[in-house]
Amino acid sequence: MEEQYEKLEELHAWVQAQQFCPPRWMRSADLQTSWYVIREVASGLRTGRIGPKQIWQYIEGQQEDRILSASPADLEERPPSAAVSEGRRLTPHHDLRAEAVELPFESGGFLTAALGRAGNNRRLAILFHGLEGSVEATYMRGTARELLKRGIAVLRVNMINCGGSEACTRLFYHAGFTRMLEVAVHWSLRRGFQQIVLLGFSLGGNLVLKYLGGASISVAREIAGGIAVSAPIDLAQSAASIDRARNKFYCYRFLKSMFRTMRRKQELFPDLFPHALEWVGTIAEFDHRYTAPANGFSSGGDYYRKASSLPSLCAIRRPTLILQSQDDIFIPFEILKDFNWGQNPFLIPLLSKHGGHLGFHLSAKENWMEPTVADFCQKLMDTAGS
């Protein structure tokens, strides 16, 4: 036990030495939050991967990978199973080769994922994206590159219905659906990976924390720890923050994408939603009317209470990095500021003054978050294996 706490102290000391200091011109929370999209759109226009007309698809909440990573023909709707069977199409970027894999549910259906191997190394990081994201989200690809450089294999997982996988299962995903993590972990263990770190971004971060702190599951000994970046640990407060007037553009973008997914799901499985979908103007109302009943919750409030990871944090018994900015436009910092971090030494907070939501950009081309979490992942595995 004493040796374990010494290793935790080593991790805490390393994290405390990390500082995110963006240049003055990049300290805007909105600029930090939006910079991935701005950078990818500019790159797409410059290289001809996208045309000016396709920029509107971003404004309407289209998934970035469907615009930036595909040819015009690929942008047409195609059966999700085709995206799974054509592995190279799943990750078409020449600098990030990956194998398309299926992670089956015992009850039927499966998750789609992209596996990037690092030689014969038995170390693996499992990555989960944010709300309406996919394995092709820029932060997922960027972090995967950094991990692979360090000899760590990467499994990037599409949550249910994301990345064009609506036909792969009748299920719906939500912020507390830890079964997705169980499926990914079991799949990884069956393939012989001996050290695993769970890494979640935004909503995926809440999932990782919920999973690691879940009282009803036994966390496999192969799981060395976790990382949560910009995680909405109190879903009710985060939904209320996104629904604020100052975030109207972001809220609209999320809702357009969420309704697009719901319409696809309704076309594939009409019995799940026999009635016409009606537009709602807030995330909270969407979750109350659609997310909650689709997943067996009695209301939006019931869903938020049961799916939030905040009550589970004290039960986490693996070293877990929680990276959060004070100026996150979606997550009120008071949630983390008021939390008693000292009650659980397994929680390792890295709270930055700047960074926005899933931002942490140092310059127009350099991101600080991606190598930092990759370095922590490597250090975590080295510490656990020593």
% of the chain with per-residue pLDDT over 90:
75
* Mean pLDDT in residue range 181-192: 96
Structural domain of 215? 2-244+309-385
Cα angle for residues 58, 254, 42 (degrees, 5° grid): 25
* Mean pLDDT in residue range 41-65: 66
- Higher-pLDDT residue of 364 and 77 is 364
What's the pLDDT at 85? Answer: 34
| Cα 324 to Cα 334: distance, rounded to the nearest angstrom | 12
What's the pLDDT at 5? Answer: 73
How far from each other are the two terminal CA atoms of the chain, in whole angstroms?
14
What's the pLDDT at 40? Answer: 78
What's the pLDDT at 216? Answer: 52
Residues 181/207, Cβ–Cβ less than 8 Å: yes
What's the pLDDT at 56? Answer: 64
Tell whether 293 is covered by a domain.
Answer: no
- Higher-pLDDT residue of 155 and 95 is 155
Question: Domain holding 349: CATH number?
Answer: 3.40.50.1820
What's the pLDDT at 87? Answer: 34
Count other Cβ atoms within 10 Å, centred on residue 100.
18
Distance of CA 268 to the CA centre of its chain: 25
What's the pLDDT at 90? Answer: 43
* Mean pLDDT in residue range 189-203: 97
Domain count of the fold of the chain: 1
**pTM score, two decimals?**
0.90
What's the pLDDT at 93? Answer: 44
What's the pLDDT at 59? Answer: 54
pLDDT beyond 70 at 315: yes
Tell whether 48 is covered by a domain.
Answer: yes
pLDDT band at residue 119 under the 50/70/90 scheme: confident
What's the pLDDT at 186? Answer: 95
* Residue range 198-250, pLDDT digits in tens: 999 999 999 999 999 985 557 889 999 999 999 999 999 999 999 999 999 99
Tell whether 294 is covered by a domain.
Answer: no
* Mean pLDDT in residue range 132-155: 96
pLDDT beyond 60 at 77: no
What's the pLDDT at 38? Answer: 86
Which neighbouring-strand residues pair with 197?
Answer: 125, 225
* Mean pLDDT in residue range 83-89: 36
Tell whether 56 is covered by a domain.
Answer: yes
Tell whether 249 is covered by a domain.
Answer: no
- Higher-pLDDT residue of 145 and 38 is 145
- Taking all residues of the chain, what is their mean pLDDT, rounded to a whole number? 88
What's the pLDDT at 193? Answer: 96
* Mean pLDDT in residue range 47-53: 73
Rg (CA), the chain: 20
What's the pLDDT at 68? Answer: 32
Tell whether 266 is covered by a domain.
Answer: no
pLDDT beyond 70 at 46: yes
* Mean pLDDT in residue range 53-65: 57
What's the pLDDT at 57? Answer: 65
pLDDT beyond 60 at 65: no
